[in-house]
Amino acid sequence: MGFARRLQNHPRLLAASYQANLWIAMKLKFAIRIFGPDRLARWLRAPEEFTKRQIFGCTMCGQCILHSTGMTCPMTCPKNLRNGPCGGVRANGNCEVEPEMRCIWVDAYDRSKMMTTYKDELHVLQPPVDRQLEGSSAWVNLMTGADRVSTAGWSDSPKVES
Amino acid sequence: MALPPPKSDGRLEKVLRAGLFAVTAELNPPDSADPHDVFDAALVLSQVCDAINATDASGAHCHMSSVAICALLTHAGYSPVMQVSCRDRNRIAIQGDVLGAAAMGVHSILCLTGDDVTAGDQPGAKRVFDLDSIQLLRTIRTMRDEGCYMSGRKITVPPRLFLGAASNPFAPPYDWRPDRMAKKIEAGADFFQSQYCFDVPRLETFMKRVRDLGLHEKAYFLVGVGPLRSERAAEFMRSKVPGVHIPDEVLERLRKTPKERKREEGKKICVEIIQQVREIEGVHGVHLMAYRQEELVAEIVEESGLMSRRRRTENTDPNSWIAGKRGSAHPNPQASRTPPVGND
C-alpha cells in the first residue's frame, strides 16, 4: 500500500488538516484584497496541485468537497460522480470501469465512518460541477466563495427569471 | 393518509397510486431504422404491463435512441418510461430532451448514471457524465416543480413528469444503498426500478432498512427481474453486465437442467422470484428485463399470477377492477380516475 493510500486511511487526521487549512484561508482573506485573486491563484496553484495530487490524486476541479466525501476525492471516480457510487460496483468492492481499482465510494464510505466532524456530510446533495472552475485553485476559490456559487435553479426556491 | 396531487398524467403513476402491483418491462431497442420493430416489440409487452421502458443505450451499446423510441411509442398511444443516462449528454442536451419528451406525451422518466463506455462495443468513446443521476433528478424536479431550467430561466409550460431512479441493492457498499435511496428521494425520485434481483434474501435485508427509514411510503419500489436463458448467459451477465449479482445456487440450478429445458427453468426461476418479492412489504411492483426474450414476458406475468393484479392492500376483491366495479370499496378517491386494466 502506497504512502498516499495509508495517509488517506486516516481521514480524521486529514480532516483536521483541512480544518487548519480552512482557518488559515479565512485568516488570509485580506490577501485577496491586497494582491487580487488572480495573482494569489498564480502563487498558490502549483503548491496546491502538488500536495493534493500526491495525496488525493486531485484533478484540480477547482471546487473541493473532500471533507464531505470521507477525505476521498470524488473526481478520481472514472464517472466523476459526486453524490455516491453508481450501481456498477463489483462484488469485491472494485470499480466497474477499472477492475483493479477499489471503488472510490466504497473507500469514501468506510473513511467517512471513521470521521467525527464531517461524518454526515456524505449525505449532502452536491450540486453539479461548474466546469468553468476546472484547473483553478480551489484554495483561492474557497477564499473568494467562487466554489460555493451554484446556479439559480439549484437553490431550494429558485428565483425564476421571466 | 391523503395523497399529494399526482405528478403526471401517466398510467404508471395512476396504477401505483391506486395501490395495484405494477408491472413494467424493458423494450429491447432495435438495431434498425424500421419503426415496426419498435411497434412489434411494444405490442407484445403492452398487453401485460403498465409501462414500457425505452432504454438509453444500455450497457453502452448503441441502439435506437430512447427519445426516438418514445416518439414512436407515444405516437402509437403508449405511455413509455424514458430512460435518460448521464453518460452521453451534457446538462443542456438533457434538459432539452426532457422538455421534448414531455411535449410528445412521455409521463415518466428514469434518471440513470449509465454504464461506462468501456462496458460497450465502442470503448474509445468520450464519456460525458456532466451530471450524476442525483443531480439529474434534482434538475428535472426543478423543471417540473419550479418551472425553470437549472440556470433559473423560465419554462412557460413546465413538464409534468413522474420521476424515477435506479437502485441496486446487490452492489457494495450494501449498507449505504438504502441511504442512497433516501438521497435520491430527496433529489426528487417518485419511483425506483432496481437492478436484476436473483438474491431475494439480500433484497429482504435491503427492504427492511428501507422500511425502517420509512422510504417505502415516500416512493414506489419496483424490483427488477428477468429470465436467464442458460448458465452461460448467466455467467456472461455476471462478468460483462455491470452491477448484476447472480448467486451460485441459481447458476448451479441451471447447470443441472438438461439443455432443452434450460429456458423453461430460467423462466421458472424468474416466476419464483416474482412471487417471493411480491410478499415483501414495500415492494410495489416488478420491472421485467428479458433481454432478447420479450416473448417470455407475457408468459412470466401470466404464470406468476400478476394478470389478476392482486391489490397490495388486503381488503379489496381484485376482480372488481377488471369488471369495472371500482369506486365503492376503494379507500382512495384518486383510484376512481384510474383507467381499467388493459392496454395503454
- Is residue A149 predicted with pLDDT exceeding 90? no
Interface membership of A18 toward B (CB under 8 Å):
no
pTM: 0.90
Mean pLDDT, all residues of chain A? 91
Please answer yes or no on whether A82 and B183 come within 8 Å at the CB atom: no
Nearest to B132 among A81, A110, A158 (CB): A81
B187 is written with which cell numbers? 433529489
pLDDT per residue over B123-141, tens digit each?
999 999 999 999 999 999 9
Quickly name the fold that domain B21-307 has: TIM Barrel (3.20.20)
pLDDT per residue over B145-174, tens digit each?
999 999 999 999 999 999 999 999 999 999
Please answer yes or no on whether B115 and A106 come within 8 Å at the CB atom: no
> Which positions in chain A touch B248 (Cβ < 8 Å)?
none
Task: Flag residues of chain B having pLDDT under 50.
Answer: 310-344
pLDDT per residue over B41-71, tens digit each?
999 999 899 999 999 999 999 999 999 999 9
> Which positions in chain A touch B167 (Cβ < 8 Å)?
87
Confidence at residue B338, expressed as pLDDT on a 0 to 100 scale: 44
Confidence at residue B177, expressed as pLDDT on a 0 to 100 scale: 97
Q: Express as a percent the part of chain A with pLDDT over 90.
A: 58
Confidence at residue B308, expressed as pLDDT on a 0 to 100 scale: 72
Measuring CA to CA, how many Å separate B94 from each of B84, B135, B140?
8, 12, 9
Give this complex's ipTM: 0.93
CB-count exposure of residue B114 (10 Å: 0-12, 13-18, 19+)? buried
Interface membership of A80 toward B (CB under 8 Å):
yes
Confidence at residue A132, expressed as pLDDT on a 0 to 100 scale: 94
Nearest to B172 among A91, A123, A152 (CB): A91
More confident of the two residues A11 and B68 = B68
Distance CA B112, CA B167 (A): 9
Shortest distance, CA A79 to any CA of chain B (angstroms): 6
Confidence at residue B240, expressed as pLDDT on a 0 to 100 scale: 87
Give the count of Cβ contacts less than 8 A between chain A and B. 126
Residues forming a β-bridge with B163? B109
Instruction: Give the distance from CA B235 to its chain's centroid.
Output: 23
Strand ranges inside chain B, DSSP E: 22-27, 51-54, 81-85, 108-112, 162-167, 191-196, 220-225, 285-288
Interface membership of A101 toward B (CB under 8 Å):
no
